[in-house]
Amino acid sequence: MEKSSSNENQPLTSKKELLDCTEGEDCKENGLLVKNPKSALQLVEDGNKVHPSQGDKGEAGQISNGYSVVQNPVPCDGIADGEDVQCMAPAATTTTTSTTCGMEAQPQLLEPEERETWSKKMDFLLSVIGYAVDLGNIWRFPYICYQNGGGAFLIPYTIMAIFGGIPLFYMELALGQYHRNGCISVWRKICPIFKGIGFTICIIALYIASYYNTIMAWALYYLISSFTVELPWISCKNAWNTGNCTNYFINASITWTPHSISPAEEFYTRHVLQVQRSKGLDDLGGISWQLTLCLLLIFTIVYFSIWKGVKTSGKVVWVTATFPYIILFILLVRGATLPGAWRGVVFYLKPDWQKLLATEVWVDAAAQIFFSLGPGFGVLLAFASYNKFHNNCYQDALVTSTVNCMTSFVSGFVIFTVLGYMAEMRNEEVSEVAKDTGPSLLFITYAEAIANMPASTFFAIIFFLMLLTLGLDSTFAGLEGVITAVLDEFPHVWGKRREWFVLGLIIACFLGSLTTLTFGGAYVVKLFEEYATGPAVLTVVFLESIAVAWFYGINQFCSDMKEMLGFTPGWYWRLCWVAISPIFLLFIICSFMSSTPDLRLFDYNYPYWTTIVGYCIGTSSVICIPIYMAYRLIITPGTFKERILKSITPETATEIPFGDIRMNAV
């Protein structure tokens, strides 16, 4: 057999070989890196054997992409099917089939490809910013801010960001980058008994995909309707208008009464949503074919943006993440030049210091910063897992979280300059104009203001295009969290079939969205928005922070970060992860659970039974955590104490790059 100084040409699937080393045990005692062509996620041949503990240093530990560290061999000659074989030289950094000297090599499967990474650092940053900055930054923060004391609200908001939101954001980025796994399989390397958290995250992501994209379908419908000389929600002469339709912009002498309805509101409720054709959640009515086509187009765009992985989506976000900032700047300048804009700004920022004494203000601040930054959805873990190992995720966390918070603050000016203009035109107080919340703030109030501006068609097109790009970023991220989790957990099934898995996921999300496309679909969206995400995600991140800081160990976590970043997190970060952030989350959870939301949308009051349905929706995802804990304890052999210890001990070593070699963290 031809000898070579490296093994680059050695096939990964060689026949069974019989090696005979001169020094029988030297092949195990000198530092050779060998590559097990079997996937590391399937740690044993039949998948049923007990995994070795991370602390087992006596044997070569298998790591996340199939590498094992054994010892460098001395050069030796062996026999393989009657031919001479030369063992690999110690200097070689490439890999070969795992064998043991003097023993017959075991047949193994092909090694999966190296983990994909971001093409550029900026791809990652824009993806994280695009995920964190979504529609909620535009409609929720301004409303929460003026409702809770205006400028005074910025104090609890900043405090909650410093001691709660940013530390949790940083923790997830660090976990994903170090362990390089999605939200399911990462728990094998942290605390296996908490693996149910990963399944919970995936279910929550599917719930979000089933209603969040419907809101984008509404925005797409508005965008298509904007390509006219006169916007359709500016007049009361359309087939969907009623006798209460009042257009005070055209006729200044018209008085706005409590029964008056703007043409923008009737366009949204009676033409786009068609809620008049539904009696409520107990009678949703038929499916709107217009919205169905819009949603189909949305999911088509999503599929072709994420089907190939982060190298594809990382290019798309250069448009979808940057375009909203250009539009926000244009709308801010336009809003500042409108008559009455100053009234909206004063209303937005005028501090009400008495509000700081109210507990609900602090709860709202904590909830806003948490849902704005978005830990707990599996997205930060997934995105960071595609980073280079020594990437400075500390700097990334500070930059992206700061950009997110500043975007929310600036969005308030964009919204409230227009609300001040609306109040000026209606001759009302800003508080009366700013009653709409959530999507209604964008699709009714802001749409009406745009319709009555000069060059209204242009501003309508760019505004709804901005809403689409904001929503697409978040959808890319949410689904990528699920895709990464499943592909990392089941690489032998889906590792080479990503495109097919993504297609199946998109189809499932589309079918799950059908109830939100009915004439009463807006009621379903509101129900899911209130119950499917809030307490469930808070519970996920609370347990995640406890598992990392108390079970995995804050010292071990900080040691990992020093190995990855070159420095150890200071006492401030340690204190936040160990105590302050969990207390911060427990505080929000208790506040959420202590007050049942009184849901109302348009003129529809949600019946009591919808509260029960809502709690069932929220519980259906979180229930995965105790179910998996019980399952884990049942299948683990030994006494109850031994089962507990094995279930909280990391079972899979983590891959640590060392030059061109990847070694196990043990």
In contact, 335 and 414? CB cutoff 8 Å: yes
Question: Above 90 in pLDDT, residue 645?
Answer: yes
Question: How would you write 523-561 as a 3-class SS string?
Answer: HHHHHHHHHCCHHHHHHHHHHHHHHHHHHHHHHHHHHHH
In this predicted structure, the answer to whether residue 397 has a pLDDT above a threshold of 50 is yes
Give me the mean pLDDT over the 386-412 stretch: 92
The predicted pLDDT at position 653 comes to 66
Taking the C-alpha atoms of residue 422 and residue 442, their distance in angstroms, rounded to an integer, is 13
Q: Greater confidence, 202 or 12?
A: 202
The reported pLDDT for the residue numbered 553 is: 93
pLDDT top residue among 639 and 90: 639
Whether residue 86 is predicted with pLDDT greater than 80 in this model: the reply is no
Look at residue 518 in the predicted model and tell me its pLDDT: 95
The pLDDT score that the predictor gives to residue 54 is 40
User: Has residue 455 got a pLDDT over 70?
Assistant: yes
Predicted confidence at residue 352, as pLDDT, reads: 82
What pLDDT does 251 receive?
A: 62
Give which of 619, 177, 543, 128 is closest to 372, Cα–Cα: 128
Confidence of residue 27 (pLDDT cuts 50, 70, 90): very low
Percentage above 70 pLDDT, the chain: 79
pLDDT number for residue 188: 92
Q: What is the CA radius of gyration of the chain?
A: 28
**Which of residues 311 and 56 earns the better pLDDT score?**
311
pLDDT value at residue 83? 42
CB atoms inside a 10 Å sphere around CB 93? 11
Identify the residue whose tokens are 């179910």: 627
Asked if residues 37 and 12 have their Cβ atoms less than 8 Å apart, the reply is: yes
596 Cα distance to chain centroid: 26
Mean local confidence (pLDDT), 177-182: 92
Q: How far apart are CA 577 and CA 498, in angstroms?
A: 35
Q: From residue 577, how far is each of 120, 162, 186 by CA, in Å? A: 30, 12, 18
Residue 606 has pLDDT above 70, yes or no: yes
Average pLDDT over residues 228-238: 88
Average pLDDT of the segment spanning 551-563:
94
pLDDT value, residue 440 = 83
Residue 13, pLDDT > 80, answer no
pLDDT band per the 50, 70, 90 thresholds, residue 77: very low
Q: Report, as an integer, the average pLDDT of 457-475.
A: 92
Question: Which range is least confidently modeled, 69-83, 339-353, 460-474, 482-496?
Answer: 69-83
User: Which pLDDT score is estimated for 26?
Assistant: 40
- Please, what is the angle between helix 624-635 and helix 196-225, to 10°? 150
The whole-angstrom separation of Cα 461 and Cα 222 is 8
In the predicted model, what is the mean pLDDT of residues 308-316?
Answer: 83
Please state, as a whole number, how many other Cβ atoms lie within 10 Å of the Cβ of residue 262. Answer: 25
Sign of the C-alpha dihedral computed for residues 176, 180, 183 and 186 taken in this order? negative
What is the pLDDT, as a whole number, of residue 448?
A: 87
When pLDDT is cut at 50, 70 and 90, the band that residue 32 belongs to is very low
Beta strands in 90-237 (DSSP E): none
Neighbouring C-alpha atoms within 13 Å toward the C-beta of 49: 9
pLDDT tier for residue 591 given thresholds of 50, 70 and 90: confident
Per the prediction, the chain carries an average pLDDT of 80
Count other Cβ atoms within 10 Å, centred on residue 252. Answer: 8
Contacts of 260 (CB under 8 A, 6+ apart): 244, 246, 248
563 burial level (CB within 10 Å; 0-12, 13-18, 19+): middle
pLDDT tens digits, one per residue of 43-66: 333 433 444 444 343 333 333 333
pLDDT at position 252 is 60
- The pTM is what? 0.79
CB-based contacts of 410, cutoff 8 Å, min separation 6? 328, 332
251 against 550, higher pLDDT: 550
As a whole number of angstroms, the distance between CA 3 and CA 396 comes to: 47
Q: How far is CA 1 from CA 81, 86, 96, in A?
A: 10, 9, 16
Confidence class for position 255, pLDDT limits 50, 70, 90? low
Average pLDDT over residues 151-174: 91
Segment among 123-132, 257-266, 549-558, 612-621 with least mean pLDDT:
257-266
Of the chain, the end-to-end C-alpha distance in Å amounts to: 38
